[in-house]
Amino acid sequence: MKWVLVCVITVATVALVAIAWFQSGGLQQHTMFSAVTPEEAVQALMTEIQAHDYEKAYASLDRTSDTDLASFVRDIAGSDSSLRTYSSLQSADVSPLHADQDQALVRVRMTWSSAVGSLDDVRDLRVHRDGSVWRVVWPKPAFATVPPQVVAVNYLSWDVIGRNTSQNWGAQDVESPKVRITSMNAISRPGRVVVLGEIENEDTVPAYVNVNATLLKADGNPIEEEGSFDLISHILLPKQVSPYRIDFPDVRIDAVKSVRMDARALLVPASADPVIAVEGQTLGKDALNRNVLKGELINESGRPVNIAQVLAAYYDTSGKVIWVSDGYVDQALMPQVPLPFAVDIPDDVAARIKTYRVIVNHYSRASS
């Protein structure tokens, strides 16, 4: 009986230690140090990145990697208050592309979680054999720089002086901007109804706009009300047009008789700077064979744009908006430096696209 108790306690202790080891990432660490296959080497590297242990991750790289620790960290963790600096690696899917005796090519799809949703970063990494283990060759990140210069910025900006609340009834105030929904289209998507279209600021002052839609039943009662949230450019300069998209999850289109639209605009201070050009826009496939609209953003101003969001509206042959998609760029837009972007397009929509239009939302920490 005495020995039975000893055995039980011993087994329980070993089990608890094993659980703790698993939970503290011991298995992953073991995998990293073993790294007996190229995939394991990449997976181990991703584990270190996930743990924000960049020094260890850097130490595990192949010696032929042409990068220093600072560049590696900047490449992985982001800089300049970009969206990547507010993100963390959620998961990494590793798939081998090619392998021979001493080197291999492995594709890793990193999924970063951020405040605006998950962001994918797909990279093809070379992996070298180093004795009994495999090590990742991290390519030297190409951080484009522009020569020191002075950029004159003299675009218009608007300030607003509102009505003094102590003034009498009837005292004059500045009018809210006039905005107009120029198109609206309600479509059925798998598991949801989507209302999309475009809105224009018709006024001569900037507007902060929001579009809400209410789906109505045949008897006129509302089914659901939703807003465009971040699928719109909220700040619209005079005559600027923004696409919008409003999703109604778990609603069927046949239950909807009509849609009530509500566009609201507020007069806000704004600046016409920065101007962001969207160059080289093409429809194509990405590395994961998904339909995407890709191109490059160029910040034509003299200061960084910390977070940029690309909004794209797609039109069919009749000029109707058939889809609106968006994508965040997880790097900061440095002045004059092109930065690639890609936004997803559903397969069935891609086949019907005649033309498209892209605009860029931006957030700069200094001028927020």
CA distance 213 to 103: 55
CA distance 203 to 83: 32
The stretch near another protein (CB under 8 A) out of 8-16, 43-51, 152-160, 220-228 is 152-160
Residue 176 CA to its chain's centroid (Å): 31
User: Which DSSP category does 234 fall into?
Assistant: S
* Of 211, 260, 256, the residue nearest 234 (C-alpha): 211
State the Cα angle at 154 between 148 and 159, rounded to 5°. Answer: 130
200 near another protein, rule: CB under 8 A: yes
237 near another protein, rule: CB under 8 A: yes
170 near another protein, rule: CB under 8 A: yes
- Minimum distance of another protein from residue 135's CB (angstroms): 38
Closer CB to another protein, 205 or 246, in the complex: 205
* Contact residue for another protein among 14, 275, 287, 288 (CB under 8 A): 275
Q: Is 219 exposed, middle or buried (0-12, 13-18, 19+ CB in 10 A)?
A: exposed
The stretch near another protein (CB under 8 A) out of 46-54, 55-63, 109-117, 352-360 is 352-360
139 near another protein, rule: CB under 8 A: no
203 near another protein, rule: CB under 8 A: yes
206 near another protein, rule: CB under 8 A: yes
Query: 81 in the Ramachandran plot: left (φ > 0), alpha (ψ -120 to 50) or beta?
Result: left
- Minimum distance of another protein from residue 165's CB (angstroms): 16
286 near another protein, rule: CB under 8 A: no
266 near another protein, rule: CB under 8 A: no
280 near another protein, rule: CB under 8 A: yes
CA distance 163 to 177: 15
* Contact residue for another protein among 64, 204, 258, 317 (CB under 8 A): 204
155 near another protein, rule: CB under 8 A: yes
Site string for another protein, 15-44 (x = CB under 8 A): ------------------------------
Residue 280 CA to its chain's centroid (Å): 19
The stretch near another protein (CB under 8 A) out of 19-27, 153-161, 320-328, 346-354 is 153-161
- Minimum distance of another protein from residue 102's CB (angstroms): 38
**Residue partners of 26: CB distance under 8 A and separation at least 6:** none
State the Cα angle at 356 between 350 and 362, rounded to 5°. Answer: 115
153 near another protein, rule: CB under 8 A: no
- Minimum distance of another protein from residue 238's CB (angstroms): 4
Q: β-pairing, 235-236 with 291-299? A: unpaired
Residue 13 in contact with residue 107, Cβ under 8 Å? no
User: Which DSSP category does 83 fall into?
Assistant: G
**Token couple for 232:** 């719109």
Closer CB to another protein, 58 or 341, in the complex: 341
48 near another protein, rule: CB under 8 A: no
154 near another protein, rule: CB under 8 A: yes
CA distance 264 to 242: 14
Count of CB atoms situated within 10 Å of the CB of 114: 17
**Max CA separation in the chain (angstroms):** 94
Q: Which residues bind another protein (CB under 8 A)?
A: 154-156, 158, 168-170, 172-175, 182, 200, 202-206, 237-241, 272, 275-282, 295, 300, 356-359
